[in-house]
Structure 1
Amino acid sequence: MNAERRLTVLSREWCHLCHDLLDALKPLQGEFGFEVEVLDVDAFPELEAEWGEKVPVVLAGDLELCHYFLDEAAVRAHFQRIG
């Protein structure tokens, strides 16, 4: 699958907001057919330094679509824009 059809979620293993966001993404993933790559910021010092306590964060490439809570409208708009 190409990079356009992938979202990256910056997460933490112990973060309940992260787990909630990932669960909320599943219906959209089924609808739009994209992959989700989950990166634990605690395993990557450079990500932890950049994003700190802002997780969870949903990224489409370098573009931040939302953080803390899923912005379903932003995710929908992204996939509708790229087709």
Structure 2
Amino acid sequence: MSEQSLVDHVVATTGLTPAEAARLIDDVVAYHAEPVEEFVRRRHAQLRTAGSKNDEIFARIAEELAGRVVAAPRLSERQLRRMIYG
């Protein structure tokens, strides 16, 4: 479930009901939680179906990734510690 303060903000600024706002937020978060590998595979399949060639596809996916929020990779406790303590 979405964070209540965000739900309240969306309700106040859009006129959506709390349930509609929470669903919208959850849908957006789920969309952006897609791991990079899944995004690349999905977009490649979509673009191939549309008739694009691989050289066009890879350039387009790279461009899309540059402007897209993507899910962070899963990090182990050790990796997290190394980020903090070096």
Question: Is the TM-score greater than 0.5?
Answer: no
Sort the TM-score into its range (normalised by shorter chain): under 0.3
Q: Over alpha carbons, which structure has the higher Rg?
A: 2
Give the structure with the higher percent helix.
Answer: 2
Where is the strand percentage greater, Structure 1 or Structure 2?
1
User: TM-score, normalising length from structure 1?
Assistant: 0.24
Calculate the TM-score normalised by the size of structure 2.
Answer: 0.23
* Larger RCO (alpha carbons 8 Å, 6+ apart): 1
